[in-house]
Amino acid sequence: MIVNPLEFAHKHNLLPQSYSVILQRDDYLIAKLETENGPIVLKASTIPNHVSQWDAKNCILLGKAGLPVPAVLADGEDPLSFAFLSWIEGEPLAANSPVKAQIEAGRLLNQIHHLPNRPKYDREYSYDSWMEGWLNVAMTYWSQQDGVTTRMVDDVWSGFNHIRPLLATRGTHFYLQDGRPDHFMVLDGKINGMIDLHDCQPGDGAMDIAVLGLVDQSLLENALVGYAADAEELAALDQLIPFYLFLRRLAAAEYHATIGGDKSIVEQTLKLAYHNPYRAG
């Protein structure tokens, strides 16, 4: 373990009583601590700025905008990158969650995507080039799967080239990027808060909407109701969501095949990608 949660919480005067590990890797730790003032979360990483400049920074930014995110109780870089966050109660959003909660998730996404004074896209390459690189990694993985033909891969690239001019206009939102359904916590039939905000950054909000439907597209459709896009944005979403669904299904499959270890996600997302391959039109 990269740090002792109890000792570290004591150091920051958080009055810990016990802890349980949620996730542990050689360079990363997430733990839930019970304290005299209720449960909290510790996120810690040996990678400089990994937590303090991402999890904590995003929670502060979104919290100031009135979004239901964890409060930052302490954060910094001593002796490693860390943040203590308030605990968000609830069950992960899913297709069987109350429809009201699914719709609310879409409303929250719209609020995040159009955050006032949101950070600007500042990568050295254009947004469409970023997606091209991401797709290239996904195609390398997909082409190795049983039943995937060269023609199927070519069709995906043809589809990408068809929407590339539209992708070139994107990247102006602030988005979750890893806004999976289980990062929305549901309590008493409504969204009680959002967790795991490490990846929030400038990008395309259409990807967030697509990610909600990686396994069950009905959740995506209900979120769209809450998102309440205007006619112009809806037309763009009609073109973008199928691409992002396909891309992120492959990304999820590869991640869980190599790191995450959830074989059911690998099976589900690969099956959906195979039966719903992306193509132009």
Can you give the CATH number for the domain in which 201 is found?
Answer: 3.90.1200.10
State the pTM of this model: 0.93
User: What letters, b where the CB count within 10 A reaches 16 and e where it falls short, cover 199-227?
Assistant: ebbbbbbbbbbbbbbbbebebbebbbebb
Last residue of a domain, one of 86, 113, 132: 86
**194 contacts: CB under 8 Å, gap ≥ 6:** 62, 67, 68, 69, 88, 108, 176, 179, 183, 184, 185
DSSP class of residue 52 equals I
Last residue of a domain, one of 29, 59, 86: 86
Sign of the dihedral defined by the CA atoms of residues 130, 153, 160, 109, in that order = negative
Residues 115 and 76 in one domain: no
Angle between helices 99-113 and 205-212 (to 10 degrees): 160
Residues 97 and 69 in one domain: no
| Domain coverage including residue 69 | 5-86
Q: Tell which residue, 119, 102, 266, 109, has the closest CA to residue 177.
A: 109
Q: Do residues 218 and 97 touch, judged by C-beta distance below 8 A?
A: no
Residues 265 and 193 in one domain: yes
Largest Cα separation within the chain, whole Å, is 61
Specify if 109 maps to a domain.
yes
Q: Do residues 78 and 197 touch, judged by C-beta distance below 8 A?
A: no
Specify if 281 maps to a domain.
no
Residues 207 and 123 in one domain: yes
What pLDDT, in 10s, does the model give residues 171-204? 999 999 988 999 999 999 999 999 999 999 999 9
Can you give the CATH number for the domain in which 46 is found?
Answer: 3.30.200.20
pLDDT in tens, the chain (281 residues): 999 999 999 999 999 999 999 999 999 999 999 999 999 999 999 999 999 999 999 999 999 999 999 999 999 998 899 999 999 999 999 999 999 999 999 999 999 999 998 999 999 999 999 999 999 999 999 999 999 999 999 999 999 999 999 999 999 999 999 889 999 999 999 999 999 999 999 999 999 999 999 999 899 999 999 999 999 999 999 999 999 999 999 999 999 999 878 899 999 999 999 999 998 76
Number of structural domains found in the chain? 2
Q: Do residues 151 and 157 touch, judged by C-beta distance below 8 A?
A: no
pLDDT of residue 49: 93
Residues 66 and 24 in one domain: yes
